[in-house]
């Protein structure tokens, strides 16, 4: 991937993060299966996260030689604290939903296959509340997250972009593709 292509991808990633923080309506994640990498970042940036008991969450960027930057560097420390965030972002380990709930990454556990239904029930609860109060509360809290994103995002994206162009990343991706039978 060319440096210009990486710039486009990272600009889009930055926009996704800020757009999610700016949406006035509550965003509720229903996680079934694995929320990994950018999928985990998007899920964790949601206002409420409901995961099936058999779901997993993680950011394995480091396992392919890339800095776990972008939104992961913004949201993980807010949800689980800097120490635990570093532990999981530096190892790329996936976290089972019950542990993710205990750590604060997930708000509620659902029976496998029921995360979406539980998220819809939660959304109905929010709809029944005064719209301005819900939106204002979200906007107030997201101001903190926006400040964190402004503080961290440019650095983390630059570091992530730098490692995406590194030989170690290319080698790890090639190895993965060969092991999965996807290499051409």
pTM of the predicted model as reported, rounded to 2 decimal places: 0.88
Question: CA-CA-CA-CA torsion for 65, 71, 72, 75, nearest 10 degrees?
Answer: 170
Q: Does the pLDDT of residue 41 top 80, yes or no?
A: yes
8 A C-beta contact, residue 66 and residue 174: no
Q: What CATH number does the domain located at 3-177 have?
A: 3.90.226.10
Token look-up 């990994």 returns 36
Query: What are the DSSP calls for 27-93, one per residue?
Result: -EEEE-SEEETHHHHHHHHSSEEEEETT-EEE--GGGGT----HHHHHHHHHHH-HHHHHHHHHH--
Domain spans, the chain: 3-177
Query: Mind listing the pLDDT tens digit for each residue in 133-144?
Result: 999 999 999 999
């Amino acid at each position: 991937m060319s440096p210009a292509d990486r710039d486009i991808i990272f600009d889009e990633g930055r926009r996704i993060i800020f757009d999610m923080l700016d949406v006035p309506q509550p965003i509720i994640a229903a996680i079934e299966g694995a929320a990994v990498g950018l999928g985990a970042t998007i899920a964790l940036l949601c206002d409420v996260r409901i995961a099936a008991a058999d779901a997993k969450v993680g950011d394995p960027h480091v396992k392919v030689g890339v800095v776990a930057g972008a939104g992961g560097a913004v949201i993980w420390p807010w949800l689980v604290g800097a120490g635990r965030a570093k532990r999981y972002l530096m190892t790329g380990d996936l976290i089972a939903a019950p542990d993710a709930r205990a750590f604060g990454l997930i708000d509620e556990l659902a029976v496998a296959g029921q995360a979406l239904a539980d998220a819809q029930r939660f959304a109905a609860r929010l709809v029944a509340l005064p719209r301005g109060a819900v939106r204002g509360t979200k906007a107030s809290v997201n101001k903190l997250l926006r400040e964190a994103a402004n503080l961290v995002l440019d650095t983390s994206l630059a570091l992530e972009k730098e490692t995406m162009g590194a030989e170690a990343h290319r080698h790890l991706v090639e190895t993965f593709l060969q092991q999965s039978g996807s290499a051409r």
